[in-house]
Amino acid sequence: MTSNVIEVRKAGDGKIKQLVQVNANSFYADEPDPVGDGQGPNPHDLLDAALGVCTAMTVMMVAQRKKWPLDDVRVEITHEEDDANYKMLRKIELVGQQLTAEQRVYLLGIANKCPIHKALHKKFEIVDTVVG
């Protein structure tokens, strides 16, 4: 499976602010003051957000496919880290008063099947090429 090409380059303004381009979409990433100017999420925030977004989308897609009465999926991600570990803490809220207890259990199980959750449990290999 291939992915989109994501291009990252220094933004025209800011100390270290980066412009991130993904196909036709773009956004900024930055670090808080004093390192950066706080004009976008930092890299750890982006990683945490990827898990949150993927979780919500995966659960919502399954509920829609099954025509279950899920109104919203709200995900809160925080993390703890030290020199040896990076622990992501995920809180999932299923909004839908008509959901049965069985449907809620099923959907919470689906959360662990989102592609980012799966990727974070694999061994990563980063292959670098330096140009210029």
Together in a domain, 53 and 102: yes
Encoded amino acid at 78, one letter: T
Does residue 41 have a cis peptide bond before it, meaning omega lies within 30 degrees of 0?
no
CA 44/CA 18 separation, integer angstroms = 14
| 34 domain residue, yes or no | yes
Q: Is-contact 40 29, C-beta < 8 A?
A: yes
Domain that holds residue 18: 1-40
Distance of alpha carbon 120 from alpha carbon 90, whole angstroms: 13
Contact 92, 104 (CB under 8 A): no
* Whether residue 3 is found in the same domain as residue 63: no
CA-wise closest residue to 113 among 61, 73, 38: 61
What are the tens digits of pLDDT across the range 9-23?
A: 999 999 999 999 999
The model's pTM is: 0.90
Domain co-membership, 96 together with 63 = yes
Q: Is the domain of 19 the same as that of 50?
A: no
pLDDT tops 90 at residue 29: yes
pLDDT score of 68 more than 80: yes
**pLDDT over 70 percentage in the chain:** 98
Question: Do the domain assignments include residue 125?
Answer: no
- Whole-number pLDDT of residue 73: 98
Express each pLDDT in 95-129 by its tens digit: 998 999 999 999 999 999 999 999 999 988 999 99
- Which CATH number is 114's domain given? 3.30.300.20
Residue 1: is its pLDDT beyond 90?
Answer: no
126 lies in some domain: no
